[in-house]
Amino acid sequence: MVDLFKTLRNQRASCIQVEGQFVFIILSVLDYIKIKMPKYKDKVNKFMEDFKTALIPSS
């Protein structure tokens, strides 16, 4: 996991150009964590729900 983040950090300049890309990356990393580290599944699901709620503008 540390190597993944080091690689991402080294390649991050200008790689995320719009908010939608940022959201996609976050959700993809969370899905990866759920699959590879099942003991964190409940915490990841809670974070994902909170994150999605924060993205939806209140009317």
State the pLDDT at residue 29: 93
pLDDT in tens, the chain (59 residues): 788 888 877 877 767 778 888 889 889 999 999 999 999 999 999 999 998 888 887 65
What pLDDT does residue 52 have? Answer: 85
pTM surpassing 0.85?
A: no
Sequence spans of domains, the chain: 16-59
Q: Report the pLDDT value the prediction gives residue 58, as an integer from 0 to 100.
A: 65
Q: How far is CA 42 from CA 26, 32, 36, in A?
A: 16, 14, 13
**Backbone torsion region of residue 37, taken as left when φ is above 0, otherwise alpha when ψ lies between -120 and 50, otherwise beta:** beta
